[in-house]
Amino acid sequence: MSLNNNNNKEPKTIEQRIERIHKMAKEHFGEVRFVGIKLHDRIGWIAKIQFDEFESLIAEGEDATEALKNLRKRLKTIIARYNMV
């Protein structure tokens, strides 16, 4: 029996998720101004990568963790599509 059971893994912190997304975006796109989350009054939690003054990537979620997971999924999809070309 393996000691590396997925059920025993420590949950990632918000900071760890942001750092991982920032690293992925920077490796693929180069410049990244910021990666962060915020609570919007009408929409709920929003996770955002800001590349420059005009370009950004946004994802929503019921909580901060879900928004960051959705943002990472979007980023992975974009990178996978780029790598297919």
pTM score, two decimals? 0.83
User: Which CATH number does the domain housing residue 65 bear?
Assistant: 3.30.160
Is there a domain that residue 7 lies in? no
Give the pLDDT mean for 14-42.
94
Instruction: With H, G, I as helix, E, B as strand and everything else as coil, classify residue 48.
Output: strand
Domain count of the fold of the chain: 1
Q: What is the pLDDT of residues 47-60, one digit of tens each?
A: 999 998 889 999 99
- Sequence-ordered list of residues with C-beta below 8 angstroms from that of 85, at least 6 positions apart, any chain: none
Q: What are phi and psi for residue 41, nearest 5 degrees?
A: -55, -45
- For position 8, what pLDDT does the model report? 65
| C-beta of residue 18 within 8 angstroms of C-beta of residue 37 | yes
Statement: residue 15 has pLDDT above 50: yes
Is there a domain that residue 3 lies in? no
